[in-house]
């Protein structure tokens, strides 16, 4: 992978995070624009690093870094979940961060169309199903 491809994939990860983060910021959620952009780009950077190293070192497992991204983002997501009385807040934000990281990994692996589909679906779930979620919570 050359520098131009590395840069393209990293910028694409930033863009996917921007799309998801914009929707979160628009709806005044715990995690917004910067968080989702950085999570997607950070995940992509780690996967790209793994791919670059594997090109120089034979017999290296490139999926090991991806597995650690899943664990690391879990800790990050746990930081946005909080309890207020009997209510728990931030689960959707944590799940969105997790999805942003996954999309960053997908983009870094070169699956741009698949990442676009995932970005679209995450944004739709967060934007379109928010009113449905509120309605279900408030029904008596």
Nearest to 47 by CA among 118, 104, 114: 104
Highest mean pLDDT among 24-33, 34-43, 70-79 belongs to 34-43
Q: Span 79-97, mean pLDDT?
A: 87
Residue 47 contacts by C-beta under 8 Å, 6 or more apart in sequence? 62, 65, 66, 69, 104, 105, 108, 109
Q: What is the pLDDT of residue 73?
A: 92
Q: What is the reported pLDDT for 140? A: 73
Q: Is the pTM of this model over 0.85?
A: yes
> What sign for the dihedral angle of Cα 87, 88, 90, 96?
negative
Q: Name which of 4, 108, 112 is nearest 54 in CA terms.
A: 108
Sign of CA dihedral 3, 6, 9, 11: negative
Q: Give the DSSP letter of residue 29.
A: -
- 134 pLDDT band, cuts 50/70/90, is confident
Q: What is the pLDDT of residues 95-127, one digit of tens each?
A: 999 999 999 999 999 999 999 999 999 999 999
Task: Spell out the domain ranges in the chain.
Answer: 3-138
pLDDT in tens, 30-46: 889 999 999 999 999 99
Q: What is the pLDDT of residues 7-18, one digit of tens each?
A: 999 999 999 999
For residues 128 and 3, what is the distance between their CA atoms, to the nearest angstrom?
Answer: 38
pLDDT at 20 over 90: yes
Distance of CA 66 to the CA centre of its chain: 13
């Amino acid at each position: 992978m050359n520098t131009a491809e590395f840069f393209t994939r990293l910028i694409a990860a930033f863009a996917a995070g921007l799309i998801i983060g914009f929707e979160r910021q628009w709806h005044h959620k715990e995690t917004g624009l910067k968080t989702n952009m950085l999570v997607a780009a950070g995940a992509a950077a780690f996967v790209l690093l793994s791919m670059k190293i594997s090109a120089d070192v034979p017999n290296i497992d490139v999926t090991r870094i991806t597995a650690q991204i899943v664990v690391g983002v879990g800790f990050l997501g746990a930081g946005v979940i909080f309890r207020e009385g009997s209510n728990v807040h931030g689960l959707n934000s944590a799940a969105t961060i997790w999805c942003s990281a996954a999309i960053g990994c997908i983009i870094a692996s070169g699956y741009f169309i698949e990442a676009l589909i995932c970005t679209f679906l995450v944004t739709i779930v967060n934007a379109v199903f928010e009113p449905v979620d509120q309605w279900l919570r408030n029904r008596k």
